Amino acid sequence: MIYEIKVNELAEEFGVHRNTIRNWINSGALPAQEGPGRRYLIQWEDYKQLCDRYGREPRISPEPSARTETIQARKEAPALAPVRLGPKTNPLYTLPTLADTCLTCGSCAGACPISGVDDLDPRKIIRMAFLGLDEELLASDWPWKCTMCGKCEIACPMNVEILQLIQRIRSRRDRDKIPPPIQKGVVTCLEKGNNLGIPKDDFLALLKELGKDLAATACPGFVTPVDVRGARLLVTINSKEPFVEPDNLTWWWKIFHAAGESWTIPSENWEGVNWGLHSGDYSAIRTVVKRIIDNIERLNCKALLLPECGHAYYATRYALERWFPESLQQFKIYTVFDLLLEYLNEGRITLNPSLHAKLTTFHDSCNYGRKSLKTFGHGYFDEARTITRTCCKNYVELIPTEEENYCCGAGGGSWASPFSAERVFHGRIKARQISESGAKVVITSCHNCKDQLGKSLNREFNLDIEVQFLWELVANSLVTTGGQTP
């Protein structure tokens, strides 16, 4: 359990001088990590020891801050109509009534895990837009320190669309002032067909090699299907997998093999993630999604599987609904949840729950969950839990969970952006949630979440957890391999 402190607050609490607290920290007597905004992160156990030493009752305690009944009540409450911030082409502030709509109550700021860091505050962003301080907003780094997690929006009693405003600030910034790794990914994808610029020949050679290995080990007769005309399912890919973790690709392939799926990977423009969402480049979002549609039509596929990233689903679905609504009638879109559940419900795969004994939890991606619920009317909460609990009987929820869940801290492009201190600081609440749950395995459905949880928070906060993708869990739980690849 991790808490953030300010030196002066702790000094006041214990009745000592600020320098005494600093000396404790510097000497290691009070273990603490530096965070942004002149704050420190301390483990609750260390804070408790300090309290014991001074004979004080702890001011903060690790009791869960919310209960599932609250979430249920929220689900059953009637939905408010969103307050929109005006046409995208207009300046940031276009609707005078919003100055009255926002109560300046600060609920958004209270809910935001990074509010106060580097003066970021969603209430202030809204107010600055009202006051016409566009240039100041465009010049600030706040929109990229914000992870677009949407916690502020669900706290807002007036249903102000704060994310829409932040997204608009991102989109209006000069392209040469976008955080370089994000802009580079967008430009590379537009020029070369994938975010990391992997050449076609290298990609095809990798697919062939991985397919041969799979045929020799788990799936006899397997051949990686590339550009197979008439295959039912077109599979898009997150370029991070072939570039960094190529073996991860075969988890899906094992599942397809077991389910007897008819599927194919396009040889070009196979990128499924869409960083135009992060950079606020709507033209790039549209182009990448149009390429996917072109591949489906070229190969005469009937369905599309999006890669394992919440933002990829959100961006693709957004683009289809906004610019290509007719496509939604032409082919079916599968998220990882939809396809795995379909296989399970149709009995096409069977899973063995006895392989996973450790206490396990599921971390909701903001894009698949809270944001999809608000934008598309459905968040993938129940599906994730059904699949995870089929594999893991020893299951525990994070609290708060589902729509109220906290972001891992790496959303909105933060994993790739230069603001790593803010990213880790944002993730401290997620780390605390996991620590309090006692889970030793965390399942998630998003690459950024997995990287943040497994490679960053695990180390920064000594969580001692194992992080797995949902389809990785399923692939490793398979007990049948009866199907055939096309």
Residues of this chain that interact with ligand SF4 (CB under 6 A) are 102-108, 111-112, 114, 122-123, 126, 146-152, 155-158, 160, 162-163
Shortest distance (Å) from residue 157 CB to ligand SF4: 6
Helix/strand/coil (H/E/C) assignment for every residue in the chain: CEEEECHHHHHHHHCCCHHHHHHHHHHCCCCCEEECCCEEEEEHHHHHHHHHHCCCCCCCCCCCCCCHHHHHHHHHCCCCCCECCCCCCCCCCCCCCHHHHCCCCCHHHHHCCCCCHHHCCHHHHHHHHHCCCHHHHHHCCHHHHCCCCCHHHHHCCCCECHHHHHHHHHHHCCHHHCCHHHHHHHHHHHHHCCCCCCCHHHHHHHHHHHHHHHHHHCCCCCCCCECCCCCCEEECECCHHHHHCHHHHHHHHHHHHHHCCCEEECCCCCECCCCHHHHCCHHHHHHHHHHHHHHHHHHCCCEEECCCCHHHHHHHHHHHHHHCCCHHHHCEEECHHHHHHHHHHCCCCCECHHHCCCCEEECCCCHHHHHHHHHHCCCCCHHHHHHHHHHCCCECCCCCCHHHCCCCCCCCCCCCCCCHHHHHHHCHHHHHHHHHHCCCEEEECCHHHHHHHHHHHHHHCCCCCEEEEHHHHHHCCECCCCCCCC
Shortest distance (Å) from residue 288 CB to ligand SF4: 23
Shortest distance (Å) from residue 76 CB to ligand SF4: 21
- CB nearer to ligand SF4: pick between 167 and 327: 167
- CB nearer to ligand SF4: pick between 169 and 439: 169
Shortest distance (Å) from residue 425 CB to ligand SF4: 11
- CB nearer to ligand SF4: pick between 149 and 292: 149
- CB nearer to ligand SF4: pick between 30 and 109: 109
Shortest distance (Å) from residue 149 CB to ligand SF4: 4
User: What is the rounded distance in angstroms from the CA atom of residue 57 to the CA atom of residue 430?
Assistant: 25
Edge-first strand order for the sheet with 441-444 is 360-362, 441-444, 466-469
- CB nearer to ligand SF4: pick between 327 and 405: 405
Shortest distance (Å) from residue 432 CB to ligand SF4: 16
- CB nearer to ligand SF4: pick between 277 and 292: 277
**Closest Cα to residue 370, out of 160, 152, 190?**
152
Shortest distance (Å) from residue 238 CB to ligand SF4: 23
Instruction: Read off the amino acid at residue 57.
Output: E
> For residue 121, with 0-12 CB atoms within 10 Å meaning exposed, 13-18 middle and 19 or more buried, which class applies?
buried
Shortest distance (Å) from residue 324 CB to ligand SF4: 27
- CB nearer to ligand SF4: pick between 13 and 451: 451
- CB nearer to ligand SF4: pick between 160 and 258: 160
- Report residue 161 CA to chain centroid gap: 19
- CB nearer to ligand SF4: pick between 147 and 477: 147
Query: Are 335 and 236 spatial neighbours (Cβ–Cβ below 8 Å)?
Result: no
Instruction: Read off the amino acid at residue 192.
Output: K
- CB nearer to ligand SF4: pick between 163 and 186: 163
Shortest distance (Å) from residue 126 CB to ligand SF4: 5
Shortest distance (Å) from residue 40 CB to ligand SF4: 21
Shortest distance (Å) from residue 151 CB to ligand SF4: 4
- CB nearer to ligand SF4: pick between 168 and 385: 168
Shortest distance (Å) from residue 163 CB to ligand SF4: 6
Structure tokens at 322: 């906004």
- CB nearer to ligand SF4: pick between 146 and 443: 146
